[in-house]
């Protein structure tokens, strides 16, 4: 499924009232892959609002913010994500975000 179809399908689900962290993450991921980082940020922040322990959402949010040139906000997203990932024992996600954070600096 290409990004346009995926975005349309997930947007339709959202419009029907299906709103949860996984749907928002998927929509953010598809939008970012489609070059729509600003729109992706909105959905990735919503994913985190639904589930503050969703470390993958922080990682993608940091990436989207970096794409938009907002390195300070990207760094904050990565730091928050590292804390969440470490608290959950998700060592790989924490390690990846530490690398991304280092690259921002």
pLDDT-derived band at 2, boundaries 50, 70, 90:
confident
CATH of the domain at 38: 1.25.40.10
What is the structure's pLDDT at 34? 96
The three-state DSSP-derived secondary structure of 10-43 is HHHHHHCCCCCHHHHHHHHHHHHHCCCHHHHHHH
What is the structure's pLDDT at 1? 60
What is the structure's pLDDT at 53? 96
Range of the domain at 78: 3-104
What mean pLDDT is predicted for residues 90-105? Answer: 95
pLDDT-derived band at 9, boundaries 50, 70, 90:
very high
What mean pLDDT is predicted for residues 37-63? Answer: 98
Number of domains in the chain: 1
């Amino acid at each position: 499924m290409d990004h346009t179809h995926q975005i349309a399908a997930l947007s339709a689900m959202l419009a029907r009232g299906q709103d949860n962290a996984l749907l928002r993450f998927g929509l953010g991921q598809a939008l970012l892959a489609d070059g729509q980082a600003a729109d992706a940020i909105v959905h990735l922040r919503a994913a985190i609002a639904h589930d503050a322990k969703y470390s993958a959402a922080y990682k993608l949010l940091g990436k989207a913010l970096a794409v938009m040139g907002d390195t300070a906000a990207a760094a904050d997203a990565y730091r928050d994500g590292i804390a969440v990932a470490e608290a959950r024992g998700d060592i790989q996600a924490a390690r990846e975000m530490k690398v991304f954070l280092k690259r921002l600096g």
